[in-house]
Amino acid sequence: MIGKLPPNLMKKYIYARLGIKDPNVIVGPQIGEDSAVIDIGNDKVLVVHSDGITGAIELLGWLAIHIVSNDIAVTGAKPRWYLSTFYLPENASEEVIDEITSQMDAAAKEIGVMIVGGHTEFTPRLGRPLIATVAIGITNKSNFVRTEGTRPGDRVIMTKVAAIEGTAILSTDFREILLKRGIKEEILESAKRFIKDVSVVKEALALAERRITTSMHDPTEGGILGGLSEIAYASKTTLEVWEDKIPIALETSMICEALGIDPLRLISSGSLVATVPDDKVNEALGVLRSVNVKAEVIGEVKRRVDNILVILHRKGRTEKISDVYVPDELIRLWKIHAR
């Protein structure tokens, strides 16, 4: 098994074994909520998130900062501090360490945050570098946004395009395979630059400041469909989305077609999915335009029925998803090409 633990194991072995119950923890571990929210008094909450970057090689350091930042920002808190743990192969060169840390430094400076600690080690029997990162932010208690806040009647908004992170990773870590399958060099170079759009901090904080979203989420593993499934699961609603409204870049379409994968199930950090009351949609789109972020209305929220996600595909086909865990195409590719 590769990827996230399935919900049944999470409930059995993780959520049931959390030590004491602390009354200051407003949001603790649960499916769909990626950050802990802790009451620290004076109408302030501490927002904390941790994540492991295991599906990328060349872009590892850049993603280690931006991915955890996104999960802090979608609560309405600005990321401020980071701790990171490096797991390096025994034979990792100084050049590898230099590349990872220079990427992390550049990403931290772009967002305006500080790396305050962590741990580094050479790890026995490890095939490639891995990083686990913790991000921390603070916001007002009355202000923070929960994934579970979505309500029937809301509209679903998505920023930018699908599979931004996945497209950048595939263009680098699967470069030789894609060249052999006919993808031109200029397409791969263009796709590699998608990594510059992997942050949603700017748009998430702009929306949170106006208090017009009922939920925000960073769709990582499982792609756009995975992110939407988590919103629906957490809020006990059903999301209906329209495939022809979901923007997909040409580079993404070409790369996914060459590899035989679904861009809607490909890791999608860089796209923000948010739910907004119907009468606030135009205001939300205006806020996003004001920070130079493109967005589309891609669906609507309905009362929970038998499924958590309904996708109306092109040419009239309807797909229904009842499981909150959507397997990610990048992980599937790593399994195939690791053999």
Averaged over successive runs of 10 residues, the pLDDT of the chain (339 residues) comes to 82 94 95 93 96 86 95 96 96 95 96 96 93 96 93 98 96 95 97 96 96 95 96 96 97 97 96 97 97 97 94 92 93 77
Sheet of 78-89, strands arranged across: 25-27, 36-41, 44-53, 130-140, 78-89, 114-123
Distances (CA, A) of 96 to 58, 78, 99, 171, 315: 9, 30, 5, 19, 47
Decide if 17-140 and 147-337 have a common fold. no
How do the domains of the chain map onto residue ranges?
17-140, 147-337
pLDDT value at residue 314: 87
| Residue 57 confidence (pLDDT) | 83
Q: What's the pLDDT at 335?
A: 80
- For residue 338, the model assigns a pLDDT of 60
The confidence score (pLDDT) of residue 339 equals 46
Spatial neighbors of 49 by CB under 8 A, at least 6 apart, are: 34, 35, 36, 68, 71, 72, 134, 135
How many residues in the chain? 339
Backbone angles phi, psi at 79, to 5 degrees: -60, 140
Query: For residue 208, what pLDDT is reported?
Result: 95
CATH for 17-140, options being 3.40.462.10, 3.30.1330.10, 3.40.50.720, 1.10.3470.10: 3.30.1330.10
Global pTM reads 0.92
**pLDDT confidence of residue 6:** 86
Q: What is the DSSP letter of 134?
A: E
Just give the CATH number of 147-337. Answer: 3.90.650.10
